[in-house]
Amino acid sequence: MRRHIECVTLVVDDYDRAIAFYVDALGFELREDTPGEPVPGNPRKRWVVVAPRGAETGILLAQAADDAQRARIGAQTGGRVGFFLHTDDFARDHAALRARGVRFLEAPREEPYGTVAVFEDLYGNRWDLLQPRARATPLAIARLVLASGNRGKLLELRELLADAAIPVHAQSEFGIGDAEETGASFVENAILKARHAARATGLPALGDDSGLCVDALDGAPGLYSARYSGVHGDAAANIAKLLDALRTTPPDARSARFVCALALVRHAEDPQPILAEGVWEGRILGAPRGGGGFGYDPVFFDPSHDCSAAELDPALKNRISHRGRALASLRDRLFAQAR
């Protein structure tokens, strides 16, 4: 469903006087001026809509019909800025409005969000003339390929880069299979995956690798977390093998962490991949707890929340997990380099 605000109401003292200001002084267009049904106090009611040229939302100029409405003229927002006129050329429009007699209440100023100055309309309503600052786009990346066919990972990455308007595609959309994970670390495998996808598509690519590292097992399952039991993706078998390996290990010696490594390459031979890592500390339980999550979540205990990863609210888990932390770190690095 698509919805939008068609118009907002501005109470005025006289239709023609208001039209003259908004059209002649502000440069708006008169979109509609048709007779309306008479109402008490306003027998000549009209439907009058003005708007900046090309804007979707208009302003309905409503002539006050009684004392209560007249008292609101010029004070609809209690003295606060109530309207925001965006422009793609602040200097041009600031000079033009001043030349047409529009009263500005301050000199132009630079804010983190753009160049702005407050002005008044003929009734005293306050407006911002604003040229928004262009959003930083990470490294001028026009499209990005995720070196995975996992839909959950794809949705996470799209959400991460939503404000940069960068289209993200799974490598499966290009008919690309998984790369061989021959690296000796999570970072190496992430880079291998990214280069594989970039080479096959000719586009920038993001690779990731993650796993569970248990101190008492010298970092195992580690790189082999997904196939620890011998069958890729068999979570129940992987957990069973893990618990068996730790059957004689006391609770205070079961420290572990989830690790996620991300690598972004601009092209297949990129000598400086952008790297990010996320680590989630915890310990391994003696038995599964909780029905949520996936993989090793039921036996991974998060002491800061006093529950297993499988018992966490999904939104909270996505934010504090190794993957959530790695994604947040990657986003910070991308936008920092763009600036």
pLDDT(333) > 90: no
Question: Which CATH class for the 7-132 domain?
Answer: alpha beta
pTM exceeds 0.85 for this model: no
- Return d(Cα 324, Cα 280) in angstroms, integer: 10
**Closest alpha carbon to 232 in 183, 178, 312:** 178
Query: How do the domains of the chain map onto residue ranges?
Result: 7-132, 138-338
Q: In this prediction, what percent of the chain has a pLDDT beyond 70?
A: 94
Q: For 138-338, CATH number?
A: 3.90.950.10
Among candidate residues 93, 208, 209, 297, the one labeled active-site is: 209
State pLDDT tens for residues 74-118.
998 988 999 999 998 999 999 999 999 999 999 999 988 889 999
State the pLDDT at residue 81.
Answer: 94
State pLDDT tens for residues 240-299.
999 999 999 999 999 999 999 999 999 999 999 999 999 999 999 999 999 888 899 999
State pLDDT tens for residues 229-257.
998 889 999 999 999 999 999 999 999 99
Question: Residue 209 catalytic?
Answer: yes
pLDDT(1) > 50: no
Dihedral angle over CA of 314, 320, 321, 324, nearest 10: 90
